[in-house]
Amino acid sequence: MDKVLVAQTVANRLFATENAIDTALMEASQLLQAMLQARQDLGLSAVVADKAPAQLSQAIAALTAARSAVVEAHGELEETKLRIGIRTKMIGYYKKLSVHEDTVTGVSNIDRIAG
């Protein structure tokens, strides 16, 4: 199989993984905000369900560490790409999920360049 096609397959999975972790971080952050807001809206003491936000904060920290690890893997894969003789930029197109996505049209497309 062609090296460039194999590398592009890996790059596509890498981009999907990066996006999934970012989405998970955004969702977890929004959950934490909703939990804290709900406590305030209900007029509950800060000690009520105190462990849940703490546990979720630990999950957010773990997701942040996972994101950093994937970013490091991205860099390693860039070096590997060069070592195996792939010098061209691989360009893919995907729909980026973003908090800046147009809420009317739902459009937020960008080009992604592997490496």
| Residue 74 token pair | 């991205």
Does residue 13 carry a pLDDT above 60?
yes
- Ramachandran quadrant class, 98 (left: phi over 0; alpha: psi -120 to 50; beta: rest): beta
Any residues with CB less than 8 A from the CB of 77 and at least 6 apart, and which? 10, 11, 14, 115
Least confident of 58-62, 74-78, 103-107: 103-107
Given this model, what pLDDT does residue 11 score?
A: 94
Extents of the domains making up the chain: 3-89
pLDDT tens profile 90-102? 555 445 444 444 4
